[in-house]
């Protein structure tokens, strides 16, 4: 895994705001990356939308049965 180190000098009075903003940016980046990976995987799928709905319905039924619903 590649490690990225970024050093930024900020004034002490901006430290808290910078940390909050940086945390938000990193979370958004990670979320977008996950969706990008999922889109890439799904774009290669040969599963049709109707097949996906059928699988989802079957899964819902099995989960409901398992939990006694």
pLDDT at 59: 96
* Interatomic CA distance for residues 1 and 23, integer angstroms: 21
pLDDT at position 3, please?
A: 92
Indicate whether 67 pLDDT > 90: yes
Per-residue model confidence (pLDDT) at position 4: 87
Residue 6: pLDDT band (50, 70, 90) is confident
Token pair 């901006």 in the structure block, residue? 14
Inside any domain, residue 8: no
Backbone torsions φ then ψ of 60, nearest 5 degrees: -60, -40
Q: Tally the domains of the chain.
A: 1
Decide if 45 is inside a domain. yes
**Using one digit for the tens of pLDDT, what is the confidence trace for 11-56?**
999 999 999 999 999 999 999 999 999 999 989 989 998 999 999 9
Domain that includes residue 34, residue range: 15-66
Position 42 in a domain: yes
Q: Is residue 46 part of a domain?
A: yes
Does the residue 4 lie in any domain? no
């Amino acid at each position: 895994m590649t490690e990225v180190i970024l050093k930024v000098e900020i004034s002490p009075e901006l430290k808290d705001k910078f940390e909050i903003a940086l945390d938000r940016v990193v979370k958004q980046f990670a979320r977008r990356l996950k969706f990008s990976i999922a889109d890439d995987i799904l774009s290669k799928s040969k599963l049709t939308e109707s097949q996906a709905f059928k699988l989802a319905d079957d899964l819902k039924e099995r989960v409901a049965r398992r939990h006694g619903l």
